[in-house]
Structure 1
Amino acid sequence: MKLLLFLLFCVCVKLVHLQGPGSGSNGNLRLCVVEGRGPFKRGAIFCPMLDEEDSGLECVLGTDQLDCLRRISKGAVDFGVFSPEDLIAAQWANIDVLVTDELRSRFRPYERSIVSVVNRRILPERPSSLDFVLRNTTLCHPGVGVNDLRPLSDTLAGYLESLIIPRACDPLLTLTENRIKAVAQFFHKACKAGPWVPDAERDAELKGKYPTLCAACASPACSMDDKYWGPTGTLQCLVDNSGDVMWGELDDVQYYFGVNTTSNKGESFPTSRQHAYLCRDGTWQPVQDNLAPCTWLNRPWPVVIAKRKAAAAVSKLIGSIKEADLFNTHWRGALTSLLEIRQTPTPLNPPKTPLDYLASAQGFREAYSQSGCDPPRHVTLCTTSNLERNKCEWLSEAGAVYGVNPPLQCIVRNSTSDCLRAVRGGESDVAVGDSEWLMPSIRDFDLEPLLYETTPIVDKMDTVVAYVRRGDVITNMQKLSGKRAAFPQYDGMAWHTVLQYLKDKEKQDCRSAMTNYFSQICAPGTETLKSEDVGDDAEKFTSGCIKNGDKVVGGEIAALQTLVEGKSDVAFISMRTANLYESKQIMESWADSDVDIVPVCPDENKKYCYLSWSNIGHIFANKNLTSMRRHEIINVFTKLDQRFGKHQPFHNIMFTMFGPFNHALDVLFHNNTKSLSTANIFKMHPYASMPLNFERTVLRTSSDSCQMKDLLNSSFSAAPVLLLLVSSLVINI
């Protein structure tokens, strides 16, 4: 018996010993991989190799870098590769991780070092303050952009400026304009080529207001096409004597002047005798033959970070990678490809916290702890769920890392209507909503769409199309007269679109449009109206609707169901919903049907076949915003879009603004959104050529809408009046 117990004990010990330290099956270490948006998918190619061989590793595909950080924080994965900017976010979010290894691609301590080069003609006889040396000189500015490395991010560029220029906090100017004005006042002139803000109209306005910041450029346009834009352009600006001082990457400076260059022996380089490195303490050093000059800021290498419990195992794993593994065709080679290792990793012994690791890079951590203006400013976004607020807060963290100012602040309310009310009352600056909320937001809450979630693909836009059953032989809009109609919801986009169409094309007034045209109407939402607004016969507007018990089911899928099941003759829904049905992507029993549906095209829009179209989402703000505040809000969201939207196809980005969040789709913003745009989008292709835009119609007609209270006070009988629920009935929400 004792022998049996002893053998069982030994087996158990062996099993425990074999159990790895990771969170995967059998204790496998789990690696979080972000695929990025380029055509080359590392995960799809190399992750199966980890599974096929006894690697002790598993892949987990993350949506973005912050998604991987959240997974590590929750213990769902064990390690991953992150940028120094990701470490700032991890530090701010109090995620308990350790940095185990640096992933260097060159033999030097930092991936990037930023230096300042000046023309010697501005240097005084002896070292002086930076203010004394640089004030009223000409700046060759490197510009800013969405690329992680080049040009500088807003945060790093702002930090360099803050070392010599006093902070400006004029309450009548946006924070961005304060920065621009401060630079313009400090320097005599500059070439700050490229976009200053993402909105082209505002960018042109600012460049017209501060022309000295473009005066040193080669072209008055001051654009990214200028020969002085970017890393090489900035150096050219200096060498051409168009400017006196510049910031740039040490590698670019050394290559440009032929310092530490072992290749291209036959190439000639500009002389560096007229130039010097300017140090942060006001001293200077020669450029020629200076391999380790003074730097203003160092950016660390990408790193491997791991959750604390798995750090030792991850450190041992990464430490076992040899140079030969970089070309290995087995799982070790796959691992180096997944980690994007270019040379043998540099271990940290012992592993460090993100805060301690970043402290070794001069200026980098300080760049992310700059003080703001007093009183502080925020742009507050209202959300309607804890999940939305969570995404908003992570978006805020990511934006702050990359210098998006003012920072985003997030509040939560119970519903979209509550958020719209919060914006109207000044508790929030903006709220988001789809096209169903356009009329209520403008009419009932005195708001307007400040920005639009756009997509250039017509069948992914919000559209209203009249769909009928193929066998019913309804071939034109006039044949819908007397038929049963189903709408996704009362007071929504389809509701107002159809009413406006009947008013314009059938010449029916507000009262007679619905009374004389359809024999029955399904309009979910009317049952929630107060009796004094809707009368006693609200049931007439929901009798043909889909119901779940006593509850009326609203939405496009429910409207489509009434058509498929024969409870209506026409359903006013979007192309997007119809495509889901036709491709068998609606996983409900009624949708497994052989009923074909076809659109009825209006005569004036045979090309697209819709009755109206709208952008898929809107950022609503108060109509009475000051011009400054309007610019500030637009700048914040367009910069967030520029950084975290779909503008960087070949980069692993920190955060995905338009994509899945915590395994859920369409959280806060729509997954199909291509970009955030101002109203100028309606002047651009393909939007300018698309007729029947709902947003423009609503802005034009919202104050001229029929109200239910007016209809109830009319001499019409109750039943006809109820059938007159038209474009602008008041929902008491």
Structure 2
Amino acid sequence: MSAPLDFSGYSDSNTLYFFVSVRICIVEGKGPFKRAATFCPILDEGNSGLECVLGTDQLDCLRRITKKTVDFGVFSPEDLIAAQWANIDVLVTHELRNRHRPYERSVVAVVNNRILPDNESPLEAVLRNTTLCHPGVGVNTLRPLSDTLSGYLESLVIPRACDPELTLTENKLKAVAQFFNKACKAGPWVPDRDGDMELKRKYKSLCAACAGVECSVDDKYWGPAGALQCLAEGAGDAMWGDLDDVLAYFEVNSTVSSPVSPDHFSFLCRDGSWRPLTGPPCTWLQRPWPVVVAKRKAAKDVSDLISSLKEEDLFRTNWRGALSALLELRQAPTALNPNKVALDYLASAEGFREAYSQSGCDPPRHITLCTTSLLERNKCEWLSEAAAVYGVKPPLQCVVKSNDQDCLSAVQSGDSDVSVASGDLLASAVRDHNLRPILYEVTPIVEKMDTVMAYVRRSDDINKMADLRGKRAYFPRFDGISFHSVINYIRKNENLNCYDALNYFSEICAGGVNNNGSVKFGCDVGSGEIDGLKALVEGNVDVAFVSLKTFNMYLNKQIMEPWVNSDVEIVPICPEENKKYCYIAWANIGHIFASKTISPMRRHEIITVFTKLDQLFGKHQPFHSVMFTLYGKYNHQPDVLFHNNTKILATENILGMHPYGSMPLNFERAILNNTAICQMSDFTPNAACKMASTFFILIAILIVYIVNS
């Protein structure tokens, strides 16, 4: 695993605590019911000595425990794996069981007796060339099996494949296909639909035992119940599944007679032996219960508190009942005496810790993500830990550079594999660094996209785009999305070259490229979108090309600045061809850039890793409290590494899908089709017969920009 994580960039300065003896970290689920809002006030009203602290996700709560701003919380065994890798010093005080048994779940192998040999044989010999009923994998930890646990079970039987010409995912699929005669491994093998279809065409035997040729989640043999049906109906010979599911399906120990006789099936053990379903099972893997974890110094107080909760407290309306609800108790907590460190607690479960200690291929592979701040790198490292717990491979590595341009250069040179940047860097990435977006940060809400709008003062009587000729124009960033979109629009509609299109305005203000981080061409109004609105309100420019989301902040009085003047009405000027949306251009809010020269295999590998991270830790699970939050505040800061408004990560195919395919004036399509980028040489004096006086300043700045870059 990676080195211990750096907590130096993490603080809890926004939270104050007074007269509180014990603090519990609560992670709200994504469903409509909010536990904290319902039960935390009861703790306050009851003088319980307890206070709730809301964590963004489970790893955020672990960080808070490490920073000593909370005392305890409830965590899954997978969270404990991450805590162990991060060297977080905590103690496990209680198990939170909902049944009277030592482990939450046990995984067993069940086989049809027809494949059992006459004599005792090695496990590999029993299963080779049989038909596998696979429950499929998914975002849940066990139902169906996670990638980590599924991979571990397969590794106990199947030799590892490490073909350097194949992705790690394809290596695993190839190994399964070569070992078993056929299988039903229904459901998505990778999140990317095109990649999934390609793999299923290549390894058809892994879908050959399914009920339908689509091999999808709609197949009757998909999932835990589907795998059991596949086995029971004779479509397959062997499966892994949850012990409870197996016993319930075959109605073992039930007074009801099962339509499928358990006498025709057996538990297959890890040593190759077998046992009847009506006898004691042999377990391949055990998953521990959720646990209460406390910082070491508070463990005694927390242990006494949790041990004091009884069965009757679950139904009370006082603070003890509220605490029981926050812990999601189903029965009285089971104390661990003495308290245990995470490593020792996990060691008691058969196979669980070993599943997270599997060795990889040699030489090892990884994907290096370039970040531009210590905070971004810290988030990246925690994302890497969470990804490793869920078996996302190759693992993520994180490096930090000074700024976005340095990251783009690092990807170009091969020092990093990918970098995340906004649409303002799109032109530079494609033109100067030979990069291309490999994935897009997508939001379905137009107001939250990166849009370029032309805003003017209503009192100036500017009514159409052609009225902007000779006006003073503001761009938030030189060489950014607004700059290129507007220049390209003028070139197209006025039939001008790049040089003359820029000279269309009498004066240009743009955030840019000098040592102070801002360059002004003939004006002194600051840089960025907020400063653009300020310049427009104060009459220092005639048109500001900024986004709809920034304008909405102004309109809704979310910009708390003294210059905000409600007497100055700002209105958009809509292009003739886009009266519906009114923007000059739009782009997705972020891009994951990779080199244009990477191999197709490496491209698929990167796409698989990041779309899997999106599936696990993004916004796909409305009722699941996840270990890590990919899109959301990190250390109280918004838009760290990825944007809060991101809905999904998607490939370039998203640009042709509804509704994006029908939205005109997309900046990304124009850039990638080489129709929207003015080259630096297009802005030289040789590009036109004459040059306006204010343009001399721009040329000087461009020369500085070229030299510095």
TM-score by length of 2: 0.95
Which aligned pairs between 1:70-89 and structure 2 lie closer than 5 A?
A: 70-89=63-82
- Label 1:598 to 1:261 Cα distance change in 2 as closer, same or farther (>3 A): farther
Rounded Cα–Cα distance in structure 1 between residues aligned with 2:89 and 2:425: 41
CA-CA distance at 1:725 after TM superposition:
6.8
Alignment of 1:644-655 (within 5 A): 644-655=617-628
Pair 1:428 & 2:392 matched: no
C-alpha deviation, 1:592, in angstroms: 4.8
Relative distance call for 1:229 and 1:727 in structure 2 (3 A) is: farther
State the distance in 2 between where 1:718 and 1:597 align. 29
Question: 1:623–1:608: structure 2 CA closer, same or farther, 3 Å change rule?
Answer: same
Higher mean displacement: 702-711 or 52-61: 702-711
Q: 1:703 to 1:453 in 2, by over 3 A?
A: closer
Greater alpha carbon shift after TM alignment, 65-74 vs 105-114 = 105-114
Is residue 495 of structure 1 aligned with residue 474 of structure 2?
A: no
> Residues of 2 paired with 1:375 and 1:698: CA distance?
37
User: For 1:710-731, what per-residue CA distance to the aligned partner results, in whole angstroms no more than 9, with x for missing partners?
Assistant: 6145663572644877999965
Shift of residue 25 of structure 1?
A: 3.0
Aligned residue in 2 for 1:272? 262
Q: What does 1:264-663 align with in structure 2 at a 5 Å threshold? A: 265=256, 268-288=258-278, 290=279, 292-515=280-503, 517-525=504-512, 527=514, 541-546=520-525, 553-663=526-636
- The match for 1:182 among 172, 175, 187 is 175
Superposed displacement of residue 478, structure 1:
1.2
Tell me which residue corresponds to 2:144.
Answer: 151
How far the C-alpha of 1:593 sits from its partner, in A, is 3.7
- Alpha carbons 2:506, 2:694 under 8 Å: kept: no
Please give the alpha-carbon distance, in whole angstroms, between the structure 1 residues aligned to 2:295 and 2:163.
44
The answer on whether the counterparts of 1:470 and 1:596 sit within 8 Å (CA) in structure 2 is: yes
CA deviation map 1:354-409 (0-9, x unaligned): 00000000000000000000000000000001000000000000000000000000
Identity across aligned pairs (percent)?
65
1:719 to 693, 696, 701: 693
Give the drift of 1:417. 0.4
**Residue 484 of structure 1, CA deviation:** 1.1
In the aligned structure 2, how far is the partner of 1:609 from the partner of 1:112? 55
Tell me how far apart the structure 1 counterparts of residues 272 and 544 of structure 2 sit (CA, whole Å).
Answer: 73
User: After superposition, what is the alpha-carbon deviation per residue over 1:619-674, rounded to whole angstroms, capped at 9, x for unaligned?
Assistant: 00000000111011111111111100111110110000011101111000000000
Note the C-alpha offset of 1:269: 3.7
Match of 2:163, SS state, is coil
1: CA distance between counterparts of 2:285 and 2:551?
55
Between 80-89 and 477-486, the greater mean CA deviation after superposition: 477-486
Asked if 1:96 is matched to 2:84, the reply is no
Q: Which moved more, 1:589-598 or 1:439-448?
A: 589-598
The CA deviation at 1:321 is: 0.3
Partner residue of 1:35 out of 7, 10, 28: 28
The equivalent of 1:105 in structure 2 is 98
Question: Which of 258, 281, 296 is residue 251 of structure 2 equivalent to?
Answer: 258
Counterpart residue number, 2:237: 244
* Cα deviation code 1:282-332 (max 9, x no counterpart): 1111113x3x41110000000000000000111100100011100010100
Amino acid at match of 1:656: T
Distance 2:658 2:351 in 1: 44
Instruction: Give the superposition deviation at 1:544.
Output: 2.5
Alpha-carbon distance in structure 1 between the residues aligned to 2:701 and 2:261: 73
**Quick one: which of 657, 665, 680 aligns to 1:684?**
657
Q: Distance in 2 between matches of 1:389 and 1:526?
A: 25
Tell me if structure 2 keeps the 8 A contact 1:523–1:545. no
The secondary structure found in structure 2 opposite 1:591 is coil
CA–CA separation in structure 2 for the residues paired with 1:63 and 1:686: 31
Structure 2 counterparts to residues 691-706 of structure 1, below 5 A: 691-701=664-674, 705-706=678-679
2:498–2:683: 8 Å Cα contact kept in structure 1?
A: no
2:199 paired with 1:220: no
Question: Which SS does the other structure have where 1:572 is aligned?
Answer: strand
Native 8 Å contact 1:382 1:419 kept in 2: yes
Tell me the SS of whatever aligns to 2:593: strand
- Name the structure 2 match of 1:203: 196
CA contact (8 A) 1:436 1:493 kept: yes
Question: Which range is displaced more, 496-505 or 268-277?
Answer: 268-277
Displacement, 1:708?
Answer: 4.9
Q: Is the 8 A contact 1:46 1:334 kept in 2?
A: yes
> Using the alignment, how far apart are the partners of 1:356 and 1:529 within structure 2?
54
Which secondary structure state, in structure 1, belongs to the residue aligned with residue 186 of structure 2? coil
> Aligned letter for 1:317?
L
Q: 5+ residue gaps in structure 2? A: 1-15
Shift of residue 701, structure 1, vs aligned partner: 2.1
Aligned to 1:9: none
Aligned length: 691
Letter in 1 for 2:562: S
Report what 1:15 is aligned to: none
1:533-559 deviation digits (Å, cap 9, x = unpaired): xxxxx97x433242xxxxxx3211111
The Cα of 1:120 is off from its aligned counterpart by 0.3
Mark the CA change 1:70 to 1:702 in structure 2 (over 3 Å): closer, same or farther. farther
How many angstroms apart in 1 are the aligned matches of 2:287 and 2:328? 18
Question: Which amino acid in 1 is paired with 2:315?
Answer: F
Distance 1:430 1:408, change over 3 A: same
1:55 to 1:703, Cα distance in 2 relative to 1, 3 A: closer
The corresponding residue for 1:18 is: none
CA contact (8 A) 1:486 1:572 kept: yes
Q: CA RMSD in A?
A: 2.0
Bigger drift between 296-305 and 704-713 goes to 704-713
- Judge conservation of contact 2:683–2:699 (CA < 8 Å) in 1: no
2:652 counterpart letter in structure 1:
A
Mapping for residues 125-164 of structure 1, pairs under 5 Å: 125-164=118-157
8 Å Cα contact 1:381/1:411 also seen in 2: yes
The structure whose Rg is larger is 1
Task: Structure 1: state its 5+ residue gaps.
Answer: 1-22, 531-537, 547-552
8 Å contact kept, 2:522–2:694: no
Question: Alignment partner of 1:276: what SS?
Answer: strand
C-alpha displacement of 1:694: 0.2
Residues 106-157 of structure 1: per-residue CA shift (max 9 Å, x gap): 1111111101000000001222211100000000001000122311100000
3-state SS of paired residue (2:19):
helix
Amino acid at match of 1:88: I
Q: Give the Cα separation in 1 of the matches to 2:610 and 2:472.
A: 43
Which amino acid in 2 is paired with 1:176? T
**AA paired with 1:270?**
V
Q: CA offsets, 1:149-192, max 9 Å, x none? A: 31110000000000000111000000000000000000000000
Q: What secondary structure sits across from 2:262 in the alignment? A: coil
